[in-house]
A and B are shown apart, each in its own frame.
Chain A
Amino acid sequence: KNQVEQSPQSLIILEGKNCTLQCNYTVSPFSNLRWYKQDTGRGPVSLTIMTFSENTKSNGRYTATLDADTKQSSLHITASQLSDSASYICVVSHSNQAGTALIFGKGTTLSVSS
């Protein structure tokens, strides 16, 4: 069964600290993996998209890693800011004869406090 599991479910950190969010998946065949940031009141935005051959991809203070062998990904946020408070959703894409499908994790809710 295609599944995406995220941990932790929620996280509270102080402004300026770093944190790492985890995503494990059992999706096959794998096409790509995305990390979305869901701000309250806004549509989810894609932070990074990684294919099978990519191990690390950065987008500003966000760095995503992918280990296709162990089927694990992480999202590392450095020097957190109050505006980083949001839900972070890991989404894995797979393709078959029916088309491309997105498998969602339940997300990690990050709260950054001053």
Chain B
Amino acid sequence: ETGVTQTPRHLVMGMTNKKSLKCEQHLGHNAMYWYKQSAKKPLELMFVYSLEERVENNSVPSRFSPECPNSSHLFLHLHTLQPEDSALYLCASSQVSGISRSTEAFFGQGTRLTVV
């Protein structure tokens, strides 16, 4: 099994649909992340998730909601999205220890989302 696995790889959804993106890591890491990669824009950190802290990110619209049931799984629940939400959504994980220390982040291959 690869380190970080995302499903589905491609998703087309209407603006009224509800869907979920799934991420699973087999690296034993203690932190997981959701990123958004839009065309011609820097990678945007959406959510940081560890079991110690619930994450609320007001810079991300509420139509995106993360869920982390355990240290190996991360979900991104999507509802009533807009066409501008079409992008590549990347999941990553790393091992964080203490303050200011993080290993290299391992990224999944991403989910290409198209909102119609």
Physical interaction between A and B: yes
| Residues in A neighbouring B45, C-beta threshold 8 A | 38, 44, 87, 89, 104, 107
C-alpha spacing A113/B9, complex, angstroms: 36
Which B residues from 20 to 55 make CB contacts under 8 A with A?
Answer: 31, 33, 42-45, 48, 53-55
Which B residues from 45 to 87 make CB contacts under 8 A with A?
Answer: 45, 48, 53-60
| Of A2, A41, A99, A105, the contact of B104 (CB 8 Å cutoff) | A41
Whether A104 contacts B58 by the Cβ 8 Å rule is: yes
| Residues in B neighbouring A42, C-beta threshold 8 A | 94, 102-105
Q: What is the size category of the interface that chain B forms with chain A?
A: 20 to 34
| Residues in A neighbouring B96, C-beta threshold 8 A | 43, 45
Whether A45 contacts B100 by the Cβ 8 Å rule is: yes
Encode A23-62 as 1/0 by CB contact (under 8 A) with B.
Answer: 0000000000000001011111111010000000001000
Is chain A's interface secondary structure helix, strand, loop, or mixed overall?
strand
| Residues in B neighbouring A100, C-beta threshold 8 A | 53-54
C-alpha spacing A101/B60, complex, angstroms: 14
Whether B55 contacts A102 by the Cβ 8 Å rule is: yes
Whether A43 contacts B59 by the Cβ 8 Å rule is: no
Q: Contacts A46-B100, A107-B45: A41 and B59 contacting too (C-beta < 8 A)?
A: no
Give B81 Cβ to nearest chain A Cβ, in Å. 19
Whether A43 contacts B55 by the Cβ 8 Å rule is: no
The answer to whether the Cβ of A19 comes within 8 Å of any Cβ in the partner chain is no
Whether B105 contacts A41 by the Cβ 8 Å rule is: yes
Whether B58 contacts A1 by the Cβ 8 Å rule is: yes
C-alpha spacing A101/B99, complex, angstroms: 18
| Residues in B neighbouring A4, C-beta threshold 8 A | 58-59
Whether A43 contacts B92 by the Cβ 8 Å rule is: yes
| Nearest 6 CB-CB pairings of A with B | A43-B94, A43-B102, A101-B56, A43-B105, A104-B57, A45-B102
6 examples of A-B residue contacts, CB within 8 angstroms: A44-B48, A45-B102, A99-B54, A103-B58, A104-B45, A107-B45
Which residue numbers of A lie inside 8 Å of B, CB to CB? 1-4, 38, 40-47, 49, 59, 87, 89, 93, 98-107, 109
